[in-house]
Amino acid sequence: MNLFDLDDKVAAAAVAAAGTVIGTLIQLHFTWRKEVSERARGVPASKKSRRGPVLAVVLLLIGAAVGGFAFSQYLVRQSDLESAAMRGQLQMQLAQIGATAARLEQAALSSRGSSGRNIEDHRGAEGVAATTTLGPCRTRAVAAPDAAPACDEQEAQQVTLCASVPALAVVTTMVLYARPEDSPQPWSESRVAPGQEVGRARFADKAFERLESDQTKLVCTGFFSWDGEHSVSARLVVKYAVAAAEKELSNALPVPTAGMAQ
């Protein structure tokens, strides 16, 4: 037992108990020697001499009780110290687990956001498409009975072809396609330039943008057909990127905002 680890009152009780026990043992030793000496001389035992050992035994029991109390308090204090140490270790481990969980959650959110950006960039790289078909043009002029109906460009049918992209997107490429409706030619071989005539049809010279909602906008261009015999299909593919820095904005090829030219 280390007395320096005990409370002041418990330490005092332990010292008192130790002193009582030692003093009682010394007293019992002297009382026993005195009684042995008197019996050797043949002196009869008196009541006073008989009470001496009884008093010593009582003192010894009291000292033992006080010492037992001090020892029990020492054990209680040691148990409290061990419990406090275990609680401290448990709280430290819980804090480490919480910090690890927070880092894992942050890493998961970052990975999810990166995946979302990769998907969006990939979709923008592939492009957003819009397709339409215009039927044969019907002229307002009276044609000969044996002549096919013919239209001029002033009587051309027209349609506005639009593709929806994010509001913050910057258009990098706009690809135009046109072909007869019943043509077996694939779209990849039907590419045309803005304003280029394909038979009796063409796209507008310029494209334009307009807001669709707070989150999206429309990239549009006009398409005209004055073919009186065939239906014509048109396709608009818009490729875009969401610029994250001014450098990306300067490298992009934005579509000018303008009215549809005819």
E-state strands within the chain: 128-134, 157-166, 169-180, 191-192, 201-203, 208-211, 216-225, 232-242
Q: Compute the distance between CA of residue 11 and CA of residue 7 in angstroms, rounded to an integer.
A: 6
Which tokens sit at 214?
Answer: 């707070």
Does the residue 180 lie in any domain?
Answer: yes
Q: CB count, 10 Å around CB of 109?
A: 10
- pLDDT tens for residues 216-257? 999 999 999 998 888 999 999 999 987 554 444 445 445 554
Task: List the one residue out of 230, 63, 79, 220 whose CA is nearest residue 157.
Answer: 230
Regarding whether 158 and 46 lie in a shared domain, the answer is: no
Please tell me the total number of residues recorded for the chain in this structure.
262
User: Residue 137, SS3?
Assistant: coil
Regarding whether 156 and 114 lie in a shared domain, the answer is: no
Domain count for the chain, please give it. 2
Domain that holds residue 7: 3-119
Task: List the one residue out of 160, 196, 175 whose CA is nearest residue 128.
Answer: 175
Regarding whether 131 and 92 lie in a shared domain, the answer is: no
What Rg value do the Cα atoms of the chain yield, rounded?
A: 52
- pLDDT tens for residues 114-171? 555 554 544 555 579 999 998 888 776 655 555 555 688 888 888 999 999 998 888 9
Does the residue 53 lie in any domain?
Answer: yes
- pLDDT tens for residues 23-32? 777 767 667 6
194: confidence class by pLDDT, cuts 50, 70, 90: very high
Question: 42 in the Ramachandran plot: left (φ > 0), alpha (ψ -120 to 50) or beta?
Answer: left
Does the residue 44 lie in any domain?
Answer: yes
Regarding whether 131 and 16 lie in a shared domain, the answer is: no
